[in-house]
Amino acid sequence: MNRNWTEYFRRLLPDVLEELRTYVEMESPTHDKAAVDKLGAYISDRFRKLGCRVEAIPQREYGSQLRVEYGSGREQVLVLGHYDTVKEIGTLSREPWRIEDGKAWGPGTYDMKAGIVFGYFALRAIIEEHLPLESKLVFFWNTDEEVGSPSSEALIKEEAKRSKCVLVLEPAAGDGSLKTSRKGGGNFVLRAKGRAAHAGNDHASGVNAIAELAHHVLTVQSWTDYTAGTTLSVGTIKGGIASNVVPDCAEAVVDVRVSTSMEAERISRLMRSLSPVLPGAELDVEGSISKLPMERTSETERLFLHARSLAALEGLDLTETGVGGTSDGNVAAAVGTPVLDGLGPVGDGAHAPHEHIVIDAIPQRIALLLRLFTTL
């Protein structure tokens, strides 16, 4: 396949941008089921018109998950993405779609509606140019990734188990690198209980829940190990009702990030081992590392090197990196299937007002997808 697909998609840039504009202007915050389903219906229609088999998997709380299939055969490649956003309805009025300074701006452009659009145009070219596939393609478009994929996690794992590899169309890293590893993460909540008392008249009979919690805050923070890629951050803390009352309750929320499954087990074990320090105090620990790390394996390396060789055919020097944030790539990797993440747009501003993608990078990214879809 000696054709220059970058130039092919460069000619289609106006169509790509118009499609993305349609997605962006259909705002789809995770918790607005009607809005998410409206965009889902549009996406379903677009893929059906390509000849895909589309299944909408209904959800009670979130938008319907979309499973899109093209091709035949027993072997499949799973392509993951999500079309829910963290930005509420009305964000578009403050952050309108616009083309400016060689970038496309607007809520959801970077994270990650562009990725789904890229997948659509890569598949459309495959169909229109009659390109053969090595494996069946299954696209799973998720509607609750921004809140941890509670209704889609099991579905993604089942698809990943059936797949030879997983391609995630989340945004690239800031320099355009693919993501070959992601830290795992989760939250733990520490709740301390003490005994209330008047801080002036009866201080000695009180048990200060904030003081109890302070011991554990310092302990938990001390488990951070930058060499191992493990971080713990007490992000919020609250307790007490007034300065003249010995507080009988206090609570802290701890963000945990780990690079390996072994570290996930170690930190979980340490969390469960916490016990009260002050006489009369109680301590309760809830939570978990809900997403295991997406670790870089030898299979991941082979997948990346394959992608790099394909990218070179399009004049792209592809690089890789590891990141601290999680995605549905973590979910897929948990079943042992090799995952290549960050195949979506180049840009910046996920969850921020300056969210945008770099227009000039679009053709090469779609060209790479086409080559991956047809060779895996």
Question: How many residues does this entry show for the chain?
Answer: 376
Per-residue pLDDT at 1: 65
Cβ atoms of 40 and 34 closer than 8 Å: no
Containing domain of residue 281, as a range?
184-291
- Give every residue of the chain whose pLDDT is below 50, as ranges: none
Per the structure, the count of domains in the chain is: 2
Residues 257 and 233: their CA atoms lie apart, in Å, by 9
User: What tokens does 318 get?
Assistant: 């592809």
Residues 83 and 85: their CA atoms lie apart, in Å, by 7
Residues 358 and 332: their CA atoms lie apart, in Å, by 28
Residues with Cβ within 8 Å of 216's Cβ and at least 6 positions away in sequence, in order, are 190, 192, 252, 274, 277, 283
Cβ atoms of 219 and 286 closer than 8 Å: no
pLDDT for 200-211, tens place per residue?
999 999 999 999
Q: Are strands 320-323 and 178-182 parallel, antiparallel or unpaired?
A: parallel
Do 316 and 304 share a structural domain? yes
Please say which residue of 291, 316, 339 terminates a domain.
291
Please say which residue of 262, 291, 320 terminates a domain.
291
Omega cis (within 30) before 112? yes
Residues 173 and 152: their CA atoms lie apart, in Å, by 24
Run of H or E residues at 265 = helix 261-273
Do 118 and 173 share a structural domain? yes
Cβ atoms of 30 and 146 closer than 8 Å: yes
Which stretches of the chain are assigned E, i.e. beta strand? 53-57, 65-70, 76-82, 98-100, 103-105, 136-142, 163-168, 178-182, 184-193, 197-198, 231-239, 245-246, 249-258, 282-291, 320-323, 339-340, 347-348, 356-358
Per-residue pLDDT at 198: 96
pTM: 0.92
Q: Are strands 163-168 and 339-340 parallel, antiparallel or unpaired?
A: parallel
Do 80 and 27 share a structural domain? yes
Per-residue pLDDT at 2: 78
Domain with residue 158: its CATH number is 3.40.630.10
Buried-state track 175-187, b at ≥16 Cβ within 10 A, e below 16: ebbbbbbbbbbbb
Residues 102 and 123: their CA atoms lie apart, in Å, by 25
Run of H or E residues at 304 = helix 298-313
Do 315 and 175 share a structural domain? yes
User: What tokens does 319 get?
Assistant: 């690089």
- The values of phi and psi at residue 184, to 5°, are -85, 165
Residues 375 and 309: their CA atoms lie apart, in Å, by 12
Do 350 and 250 share a structural domain? no
Per-residue pLDDT at 120: 98
Please say which residue of 291, 312, 338 terminates a domain.
291
CA 360 to chain centre: 24
Cβ atoms of 376 and 165 closer than 8 Å: yes
